[in-house]
Structure 1
């Protein structure tokens, strides 16, 4: 029998169970039923029931017949319980093994490398996940760009919700563009329901995670797969102050009132103007707004239409003539 996971259980609860009940009450399910054909809406539900031996095919009568579920349940639930017990034991063994490594590390001369540590490649996320799992009081996160994969966000949501359930206060800062990213909206809905606070800001900022105001993780040089863990109290306090100042200027993610959305649109328009005036390239400007290059080009096209300009040079000249700077909204 194939491994069963959340997707199979969801299919079992939503479609397979009603199909089994219907089959049991009617005394059987004809194999010519169009709903269980390869292109039918219940085809996968039927396959699941057959794989679980809850339905068996009577070839002589061309019908599927139900099987007593109590005779099947132990064959499905029992191995899962066994694997769970085995995993618990294995996790305890691994914890003891890592405990020994920790003692060796503390005795090593390299353990006193100072308050700043570099992590490379996949080790960055592994370190962050471990730090979040050990958080006791507060998590501050700044995520400047959207585009993270849905699976990654789902995993992050589970990790963050577990921290919140332990009593950890969590605040997350995104750019305004995150409001248009469906996977990010789902993530925000999940952590907000658990008790997190999420806001968005028009300005560009760097990625950062602060754990309990004792550890900060920031990116290394641009274009590198490097993460920097900072534990120097003065530096962490400075980064927390930067976060707090940005947080005060940000707007609640969950607020969808028309006036709020209009304000956000104006702030993105103002930042687009500033990017043009400062002479940034489209890729750089798009990154600082947290949008794609195509979306940024759309913002510029809107400004051309607003100021009746055919070219960017004409747009810049027109805005300069009337004194537009991109700071008017502020």
Structure 2
């Protein structure tokens, strides 16, 4: 078994420059030495023969004198043997040896606990200041700039902890968001477990990425609502309809964020989310549509596109709103992987969608 060695460094502190408060500091190190069979046997013999010479004890045990001397040195360091005034060694009980060996360490542990308690008390004393500052940050007319990825994550964690009713999220992009989505999963599940309503809106392209699809399956099974749409303006999180988090630069979301509580701005952002949400389709429905050829109204729109008509002309011919046509066109172009109408027509013809 591994054992401890203790020694005193009189008049030296932990930095070795002297001036310790009590004049000495108990230092403990873990020894590689172990109490082997020789040391245990020598200890037993010293209990019964305290005045024996090393040579006599060696003869009794069948060891060499050097082995006995080394065992006695180890036992002495552990406090199991102490010099006798009349010569030889006196064996000390293991309980007494442990008490003498560990008492300085227990004292050190006690001092550390006292210091930890004092530090904790000092930190907790700042709770009032923190709550006061947080209430000031929550002023209804504030727009706060948060810089640095760690600070943004801290704000998101704080908002998630205090969210009570709803979280609405616009999540554009695809593979570049996989790490962020994976990190958001435990926070979202915790919110859902508290009864918070979550609505997340992705782009159709996101379902080509396994991590995002798995994330969607996990949170929808826990009660979240998830839709997808062709295009999203920016990443956005709205908590309880009372606070929104927006990136300062939509192309570099880690650079900084704006924490918005201003009523006028927040009202616009909430209307923007509702508009995008209304244009979206269920995530599972988009998956079913992605692989099949268009039918019904979608096919009619595609044929009109192939004839070179504008969205306005298509809407007039088919008797639907121009907004509905725009949504269908954007969805078709996404499914075809096209960046313009000519390319969409070419790919639709190659896929047999125009026959």
Please report the TM-score for the alignment, with normalisation by the length of structure 1.
0.50
Mark the structure with the bigger radius of gyration. 2
Greater relative contact order (CA < 8 Å, ≥ 6 in sequence): 1
Please report the TM-score for the alignment, with normalisation by the length of structure 2.
0.46
